[in-house]
Amino acid sequence: MNDATSVLTSHTKKYHIPLNHINHTYIEQCTDGIELEQILKVLILETELNSTTDEKWREKLTDNKNDDEHYLIYLKTKNEYSENNSYEWYRKHADQLYIDGCFILAIRCYTFCIEFQSTTTYSYLKRAACYLNVFEPQKAIDDCDIVLKEDKNNFYALYHKASAYKMSRDDRLHELILKECIKLQPHNQIILSEYYTCRRKQIPREKRRIRTNQIISKVNNDNSLSYNELEQIRLNKIYSNTLLNSNDIKDQCSFILHLPEKNSLQSFDCATIKLIEIIINISRIMIQAEQHYQQEHKSEILSFSYIKFCFHILVELTKLPQIDIVLSTIDENYRALLDDLLSYYSSISSIFNDIEQLNRLKKL
């Protein structure tokens, strides 16, 4: 048995993954996020460890059976790890693992970051978010407390802590911490809705739908891209979280198109107004581009279907925490656009087997 096979076997034994679960059909139907992460780790090792021509990483393996450590050794060799830049190396890989939804490995990397720079609150805050994703509320609370000791007004640390108390079913502390969040962001509709829901009250009228920008945003229906322009963006493999903050449509398209294929939006802790409105508008642009292209090239087979792509993105949107709450706060123009998108997909429902998953986006 070679080293790669040994590591692969240790993964399947450690996580109690039956070998028949390592196949496309099972993975497509699996809804257990933790198991999917474990399967992903197995597949990464199966493909990368056996295909690499660089054998240097094998020489550094110890006799212990810690497969996480084996994988990190492989990453260090593959990505030129340097002791002089340890913190940045671990932070970069932790952030990518977090985006990929590999929260257990991300926790390990953020822990190394903390060992190298224990006074940097960033790693504690990101590790707390990871702990919430693997249902470890007390560890998330402990990390948030460290951040709040340095910055008592850190909104994200407070909100993560509130979420951890909610996970622990401590309603009193959940409500108390949400109240602190409201002091920092008094018009945050997500926090207000969660706070008044746990108090079984309605949001006071004077606090409803108040935006920091009092100019009501309007959807510019003149904004459009052609199918060929979308293809250029899709084939240009550039991905960055910063593109989400851009007001340029091409940047926003690039961000959406280059999200991970599986669990595309899993890196987001919760739904946000901006994320939802961008997805709605970009979906409109992509669907219109494909429809126009099909009208002009009726006999041509498309290399990529943006109609199917947008459907799967909308399905992923339904899985985001608090999506129901945030949908009630989006601009009415985007709400109307979303209703149009849902009506369109209902009209072609025979193409999709899981059209009912979009029901959560319908107006209540």
Cβ pair 360, 318 in contact under 8 A: yes
Can you give the pLDDT at residue 310? 92
Cβ pair 255, 243 in contact under 8 A: yes
Q: Supply the pTM of this predicted model.
A: 0.49
The answer to whether residues 237 and 130 belong to one domain is no
| 185 within some domain | no
Domain containing 150 equals 3-170
| 239 within some domain | yes
Number of domains in the chain: 2
What is the phi/psi pair of residue 54, to 5°? -90, 115
The answer to whether residues 162 and 276 belong to one domain is no
Per-residue model confidence as pLDDT tens digits over 269-328? 677 888 889 999 999 999 999 989 888 887 667 888 999 999 999 988 888 877 877 787
Per-residue model confidence as pLDDT tens digits over 250-276? 888 888 888 877 667 766 767 788 888
The answer to whether residues 121 and 248 belong to one domain is no
The answer to whether residues 159 and 238 belong to one domain is no
Residue 152 has pLDDT above 70, yes or no: yes
Examine the fold and report which residue of 149, 170, 191 is the final residue of a domain before the chain moves on.
170
The answer to whether residues 18 and 148 belong to one domain is yes
Examine the fold and report which residue of 170, 197, 218 is the final residue of a domain before the chain moves on.
170
The answer to whether residues 57 and 125 belong to one domain is yes
Q: Among 193, 211, 233, 206, which Cα is nearest to 321's?
A: 193
Residue 67 has pLDDT above 80, yes or no: no
C-alpha 80/C-alpha 61 separation (Å) is 16
pLDDT-derived band at 349, boundaries 50, 70, 90: confident
- Cα angle value 105/110/111 (rounded, 5°): 95
- Burial class of residue 134 (count of CB atoms within 10 Å of its CB; 0-12, 13-18, 19+): middle
Per-residue model confidence as pLDDT tens digits over 208-235? 654 433 333 444 445 789 999 999 998 8
Examine the fold and report which residue of 144, 170, 196 is the final residue of a domain before the chain moves on.
170
Can you give the pLDDT at residue 40? 60
